[in-house]
Structure 1
Amino acid sequence: MKRWLLPWMVHAGLVLSAGEAVELTQVDDHLGWGWQAQVMRNDLITFAVMPAIGGRAMQYDLGDHPFLWVNPAEIGRTYEPSADAPWPNFGGYKSWVAPQGQWLRGGGGWPPPPTLDYGEYTATREDGEQGQVTLVTTGPVETFERWQAKGLSLTRRFTLRPRSTQVRVEQRIINQSPHPQVVANWDVTQVPGVHAKANDPDNFWVYFPVNPRSMFGPRGFFVFASDGRNGADSQWKNWASDGIAGVQYLRRGGKIGADVTAGWVAYVDERDGYTFVKRFEVSAVPAPGTWPDGGSTVQVYTNGAEPYIEIEVLSPLVDLQPQQQTSFIVDWYATRIDGPILKAGTAGVCKQRLSLARSGARGRVTGMFGVFHLGTVELLGLPSADAKAGTKPVSLGSYYVSPREAVTLDVEVALSPTVGTLVLLLRDADGKDLGELDRALVPAVEPEKR
């Protein structure tokens, strides 16, 4: 259900109902899956990690809507790491060591190092400021000679705070071997490609911003050489006018890589109207020598046999010396809105950009957004460039919002002559600025025709 922001409410003096504190509990046989889980919850999100299967996150739900794919064939199973066993694909999220093409000694990129991938991890808890809780999972050291990663171990830190869908995922590679290794952290998350009891893969999309200086040309991505088969190319999309590219899942096997610099990628369930966003920092210009796989910061893999998509984010390559470690942070967010996703920030996503249709001293402001946190959106009018020094922003109204509902803005406002830009901000219950959803220039008043 979409929310019309009418009427506006006075911002000052209103108190936002507080979110529930973050809970972290150990649950045996979580959801009847047979695994012991570390389960984090607030009043928006449920997030569950299974230490016995490589410390994978197997649940990230907004309310009762799941964003992670779970392989029904592997539910409840555990495996002793082995150099010769088939790879068990549990689903969910894990982090791998990139580049994949150098996994095996002597060459080869499959399977992943087994101890890192599905060995048993330990779990500990840390409590932080303002009610946030961190779950730390620590993995065993890889011991098999067959893999270049021998001597490496992985640690992941998952942090959840009240009143927010944000889960901060810090992935860390530790080199406990006696020799240096060139590595990158690789966030690999499997998400559903069909709804339960439905064969509707075309309802699932992925969106990401095109690098305007992409080394891969105007589309902003490349197709992996071995994966452009079985009609997979029809899945890859580009909307040049919006600066956005993406994938419409059609249950065909394929993979693309992109040199995204704006630092986000979004997965959308278009039928039910839910969006899952990953945000990350791009600290250097993507290039073949600085990022894995020819300069990829984002990759999207589509599986043709099983109904899932992989949303993958990669860190820069690091020459990791013995006893050193390298970390990479990816922030997860969720909200209730369908696509296309044109913009994603720390406050939320934009489906329809903030826009103003002016008529004299009044204007109609429109836009469509999904927010990541409980709070209040406020529309501010910022002073124009020719306004007098000391002119303050003008509040044009505010309204309570939640990640559980899309935000549709359609409101008339009075425009002061000093206002040059409109900005839509999200604030928390204490009035703290959580980020900007979008902004728009105020057009000049057209002179009257004589």
Structure 2
Amino acid sequence: MVSGVHWLDNGVLRLGVVPALGGRLLSLRYKEIELLWRNPALLDADLRLLDGGVARPNSGRMGDWLNYGGDKTWPAPQGWDHNDQWPGPPDPVLDSGPYTVSSTEGGLSMTSGAEPRTGLRFTRTLTLGTGASYTLRLTAENVSTRPVRWALWNVTQLPGGGTVTAGLARRRAPAVVGLVAGTGTPEYTVDGDRLVVPPQDVVGKLGVPGTAGWVSCDVGAASLTLSFDVDHEAEYPDSDSPLEVWLEHPLPAPLASLGDLDPPARIVELEVLGPLTTLEPGASTALTITGTVCRLT
């Protein structure tokens, strides 16, 4: 079943999910504070498409992408050179296709269609705890008849303007790398065992090979922390980066170097990746992310 908006509420956190829009988590509300960025040009406050719009799969260049916002899952590595790279977003199945939804104990589970280029089918399972935390369990299954090699890649979009802080374990060198410089590489500092990325107007991405398995971002009077396991013996995409931080802001013209990407707002992306895994037909790989919200003092 694919239908409308689904809400999970434990009295502390309220999560809004829209299976028809790529299985997205589009609202993460802590009391009166909304943590996620979503596109006000496409969605209203109730997560409904504006002007009576109907959810449709979206494809094309990055400049054609309908960026609804929120939290979603993609395959990595990204690229446009060969079939072992995912040429999105957009993507008409995993990113913007309808997901079927079913109830689970304490939450819900959403499953994508089969994507022919990657051979993958995704499942996103959200579970609310009793306090200000939730768990997102991701699974990628090879539903093709050939071996494939991919990593899970979860992207959480937050409003720009907050500081990003991430723990460093320093088990890989360098601990931080520049990955994408649309208008430049984001500036950062390393304070002991912490990476600090201040607010700034830049379109670009950092990779964190030395991540300790957690990252936080301030949003107004609250902070969201994502925690995840890291296998320091495994291979990860993008210079061995289990964590990536993307920043963007509006520009006077689309970025031709990034497929005419046209950033709609100041946005911070916290991107958590699983290891690159070779999957035989019928095999799967999984990644679990725990989100915790706290009020800033």
Q: How high is the TM-score relative to the length of structure 2?
A: 0.85
| 1:177 corresponds to which of 131, 141, 144 | 144
1:276 pairs with 2:224: yes
Match among 211, 220, 235 for residue 169 of structure 2: 211
Q: Which residue identity lines up with residue 293 of structure 1 in the other structure?
A: D
Q: How many angstroms does 1:63 deviate by?
A: 0.6
Partner-residue secondary structure (3-state), 1:294: helix
- Corresponding residue for residue 248 of structure 1: 198
Question: What is the distance in 2 between the residues matched to 1:236 and 1:227?
Answer: 16
Q: Take 2:56 and 2:36, find their aligned partners in 1: how far apart are those partners? A: 24
Q: Encode CA deviations 1:218-260: one digit per residue, 9 max, x unaligned.
A: xx2111253462xx54x32222xx3211211223111100013
Task: State the Cα deviation string for residues 28-58 of structure 1 (Å, max 9, x = none).
Answer: xxxxxxx921100011100111011011000
Q: What SS is found at the alignment partner of 2:41? A: helix
Paired position in structure 2 for 1:414: none
Q: Which residue of 2 aligns with 1:139?
A: 112
Q: Provide runs of 4+ in structure 1 moved above 6 Å.
A: none
Question: 1:73 maps to which residue?
Answer: 41
**Number of positions where the alignment pairs a residue of Structure 1 with one of Structure 2:** 272
Secondary structure, in 3 states, of the residue corresponding to 1:249? coil
Coordinate RMSD, CA, aligned: 2.2
Distance 1:104 1:111, change over 3 A: farther
Matches within 5 A, 1:31-430: 36-75=4-43, 76=49, 77-81=53-57, 83-84=59-60, 86-101=64-79, 105=83, 109-127=87-105, 133-143=106-116, 148-149=117-118, 151-162=119-130, 164-193=131-160, 201=161, 204-216=162-174, 220-227=175-182, 229=184, 232-233=185-186, 235-239=187-191, 242-269=192-219, 272-285=220-233, 290-305=235-250, 306-337=265-296
Paired residue secondary structure (1:74)? coil
**1:214 is aligned with what amino acid?**
R
Q: 1:57 to 1:106 in 2, by over 3 A?
A: closer
Query: In structure 2, do the counterparts of structure 1 residues 238 and 90 end up closer, same or farther at CA, with 3 Å as the change threshold?
Result: same
**Distance between the aligned counterparts of 2:115 and 2:34, measured in 1?**
31
By how many angstroms is 1:82 displaced? 5.2
Shift of 1:104: 5.5
Higher relative contact order (CA 8 A, sep 6+): 2
For 2:58 and 2:286, the matched residues in 1 are separated by: 27
> Measured at CA, do residues 116 and 104 of structure 1 come closer, stay the same or move farther in structure 2, by a change above 3 Å?
farther
Letter in 2 for 1:100: Q
Report the counterpart of residue 20 of structure 1 in structure 2. Answer: none
In structure 2, list runs of 5 or more residues that go unmatched.
Answer: 44-48, 251-264
CA distance in 2, matches of 1:108, 1:157: 22
The alpha-carbon deviation at position 319 of structure 1 amounts to 0.2
SS of alignment partner, residue 43 of structure 1:
coil
If you compute each CA radius of gyration, which structure gives the higher value, 1 or 2?
A: 1
For residues 106 and 135 of structure 1, the distance between their equivalents in structure 2, rounded to whole angstroms, comes to 31
Relative to structure 1, the CA distance from residue 103 to residue 208 in structure 2 (aligned partners, 3 Å threshold; closer, same or farther) is farther
Instruction: Give the structure-1-normalised TM-score.
Output: 0.57
Q: 1:103 to 1:79 in 2, by over 3 A?
A: farther
Q: Which amino acid aligns with 1:236?
A: Y
Contact 1:228 1:255 in 2 (8 A): no
Deviations 1:184-223, CA, capped at 9 Å, x for gaps: 1111000011xxxxxxx3xx1100122334311xxx2111
- Give secondary structure in 1 for the equivalent of 2:216: strand
For 2:276 and 2:84, locate their aligned partners in 1 and report how far apart those are by CA, in whole Å.
20
